Structure 1
Amino acid sequence: MYKILTLNNISVKGLSRLPREHYEVTSESSQPDAILLRSFKMHDMDIPASVAAIGRAGAGVNNIPVEKMTERGVPVFNAPGANANAVKELVLAGLLMASRNILPAMKFADSLDGTDAEISTAVEAGKKNFVGGELRSKTLGVVGLGAIGIRVANAASALGMKVVGYDPLISVENAWKLSRNIEQAVNLDHLFSQSDAVSVHVPLLDATKGLVNQERIAMMNDGATIVNLARGGICDDEAVLAALDSGKLGSYVIDFPTSALLKHPKVISFPHLGASTDEAEENCAIMVADQVRDFIEDGTVRNSVNFPDAVMPRGSSGSRVTIANNNVPNMVGQISTILAKAGLNIADLLNKSRGNVAYTIIDVDGTIEDSAIDSLRNIEGVLAVRHLPAK
């Protein structure tokens, strides 16, 4: 019986992927095998040594001490793409709200009073103050072409916008998903210099903090819109506010409001709604629950932010051992030697690496004794060893 600790409410559809005959899901446990969460901040949490995996039902993992978990040999899983459609739709909503002055127009309409005739007269007199523009033929720059950025780019292109994308790390798989109408920017300056609107879809890292700054905003077309549903900090808010006041920017759509931004008439603030749909929450929970279950039961790694992907089908008999270690030479050799001394034949082996971390899955004929597991743990550089008995 595996114990799964939940630090936030997780969709029932996701938790249903963890069968009750093998999993105990609880909000209180001192020795859990894995943790599932959404927005709970774990950095100050005393994470039990029993934890073998952490699953974030969402994309960002800023609330999880990933580096600390890596040092302990604990994979951190997320759910990339599971909420992509929800975020895409909110980006489009933000672009439409900005281009058509929907928010101030709604406030104006809500302020009207009087008879129907008086309201009609006021509407006709006031609507000229909210004349906007159409998205069609405008240029949208999309920074980051991952699961969300691709959907935003394709949807905007379908609406008739010219779309320019930039992502130096785009995967081959994602590149195949892009509409052939999407143009590639040479660099960020090239993208900003063409854009009537920019939507950012990158994680908040040292390299992306302040990515949207005074210099790049100055390159944009006058009256441009910036949409940031990714993370606060990617845009330099002081530079954005100055550009809004000068008229260089026409609108700023943000999912992470601050005291400085909230009262500005050209700022459209959402209360972190990007992934807040029933469908997105269910999709994220299902994806991360499946990934944690696959790791707990079979050692399989999919969509980990700190471990390499590693998928090897289970054999029909024998035991499985998984080893996480520092990515240094002769690790597989030392592991093989220990198993050979224990009289165990390796039936199958998979070794993958990612940066400073390597991960090995080994199926052996027979049963691995505790003494062999202890020997594996004692190899210098080994971070974690798990013994998965035959199914």
Structure 2
Amino acid sequence: MFNVKLYNKISRVGLDNLDPAKYACSEDFTDYDAVLVRSAKLHDVAFPENLKCIARAGAGVNNIPVEKCAEQGIVVFNTPGANANAVKELVICALLMASRKIVQGANWVRSLKGTPDIGPAAEKGKATYAGPEIAGKRLGVVGLGAIGVQVANAAVGLDMEVWGYDPFLSVDGALKLSRSVKHVTDLNEIFANCDYITVHVPLLPDTQDLICAESLAKMKDGVRVVNLARGELVDEQAMAAALASGKVAAYVSDFASDCILEQENAIVLPHLGASTPESEDNCAKMAVYEISEFLEKGTIRNSVNFPNLKVPYEGGFRVCMIHRNVPNMIGAATGVFSSKGVNIENMGNRSKGEFAYTIMDVSAEPDEAMLEDLRAVEGMISIRVIK
């Protein structure tokens, strides 16, 4: 039986995919094999020695101590693409809100409650809230991952001229991207030429403050910017100054900030990007699938700190080893088995940065002495036997 600790409310649609004969789920476990989490911050959590994996029901993992987990042999998963449609729809909504002053107009009409002849009175003030159409305008999509590709393709369907930037565009992303999207290799081309800019990149040291005073100065006067990815991608003080000066005509953010809220042409949402029942269900189902495949078969899929690896499993004795990506690890491990007369019937190995993951299917169940010899191999982090 595997214990799964729930750090947030996880969609029942996902949890129902866990076999109750194999899994128990609770928010109260102190000893557990796996974690399912959404937004709860885990940086200060003292994980139990038994913890094998953490699955984040969402794309970002800033709430998880990923590097610490790697050092402890804890595999961290995310669910890329599971919420992509939800975010895409909100981005399209944000582009329209940034153009047509929809929110401001609706708030003004609400303020007229009780006014005699409210209909004509409301219509009389509509000129204040007029704004341009998005068709025919140039949209820059920064980041062409699962969400960025969907946004770019949807914008093409709305007759926008779409430019996309992503130096790490995957083969899968490229195949899904509309041929009408102009792929540029210099981010400054997006800044200098686009009427609208939307960012869809992860928060990393080199993407923090991607939108800053320097990049804003390169943009067209009256540019409209959308950020539903991560608040720290935009320098809030620089954006506030650009809104105040009119350099930026409108800014839509999914992340609350006092200095941005002070700006008349800013629309701030309460982190609604993935807040749909469909998205929560999709993320939960993917997260549950990831931890069950790992716990039962050793398969790693969508890990952010270890390499993905799948070796077909037909039963028997499977040894899963997380270790440093250093020379002779495979030789040392196979040497332990051969010295005990145990045959390796199937295996797979992948590396990611300084870490690696190896699966070996062996002919006999490793005894404790054999496992101790494996643990003693320099660079070995964790060992698990599946049978």
Indicate the TM-score class for this superposition, using the shorter chain for normalisation.
over 0.9
Show the counterpart of 2:344. 346
1:100 aligns with 2:100: yes
Q: Deviations over 1:28-69 (max 9, x none)?
A: 112101111111100011111110011111110000000000
C-alpha deviation, 1:103, in angstroms: 1.1
Worse-superposed segment, 255-264 or 75-84: 255-264
Residue 124 of structure 1: how far off its partner (Å): 3.2
Tell me which residue corresponds to 1:319. Answer: 317
- Superposed displacement of residue 114, structure 1: 4.7
Residue 113 (structure 1) shift: 4.0
C-alpha separation in 2, matches of 1:115 and 1:203: 47
Q: Does structure 1 retain, via aligned residues, the 8 Å contact 2:165–2:183? A: yes
Shift of 1:115: 6.1
Structure 2 equivalent of residue 282 of structure 1 = 281
User: Does structure 2 retain, via aligned residues, the 8 Å contact 1:315–1:363?
Assistant: no
Residues 187-238 of structure 1 show CA distances to partners (whole Å, capped at 9, x for unaligned) of 1111111111110011111100111112221222221111111111111111
Q: CA RMSD in A?
A: 1.1
Q: Higher mean Cα deviation, 119-128 or 272-281?
A: 119-128
Residue 299 of structure 2: aligned partner = 300
Aligned runs of 1:1-391 on 2, under 5 Å? 1-114=1-114, 118-316=117-315, 318-389=316-387
Give, in whole Å, the separation in 1 of the partners of 2:9 and 2:113: 43
Q: Which amino acid aligns with 1:313?
A: P
Q: What percentage of aligned pairs have identical amino acids?
A: 47
**When the two structures are aligned, how many residues end up with a matched partner?**
387
SS of 1:353's partner is strand
Matched residues in 2 for 1:253 and 1:342: separation?
63
Amino acid at match of 1:354: K
Instruction: Give the TM-score of the pair, scaled to structure 1.
Output: 0.97
In the alignment, the residues of structure 2 paired with residue 356 and residue 86 of structure 1 have an alpha-carbon distance, to the nearest angstrom, of 35
Q: Distance in 2 between matches of 1:49 and 1:129?
A: 61
Helix, strand or coil: the match of 1:322? strand
Structure 2 counterpart SS, 1:233: helix
Structure 2 residue runs without a partner (length 5+): none
The 1-side partners of 2:128 and 2:256 are apart by: 26
Give the conservation status (yes or no) of the 8 Å contact 2:244–2:263: no
5+ long unaligned stretches in structure 1: none
1:119-141 residue CA offsets vs partner (Å, 9 max, x unmatched) = 23323321111110000011111
- Paired amino acid for 1:28: D
Q: Give me the whole-angstrom Cα distance separating, in 2, the residues matched to 1:24 and 1:298.
A: 18
Secondary structure, in 3 states, of the residue corresponding to 2:233? Answer: coil
Whether the aligned pair in 2 keeps the contact of 1:300 and 1:311 (CA below 8 Å) is yes
CA distance in 1, matches of 2:114, 2:291: 59
For 1:46 and 1:114, the matched residues in 2 are separated by: 57
What CA distance in whole angstroms lies between the structure 1 residues aligned with 2:361 and 2:234? 48
SS at match of 1:13: helix
Contact 2:193/2:220 (CA < 8 Å) preserved in 1? Answer: yes
The 3-state SS of whatever aligns with 2:30 is coil
- Taking structure 2 as the reference length, the TM-score comes to 0.98
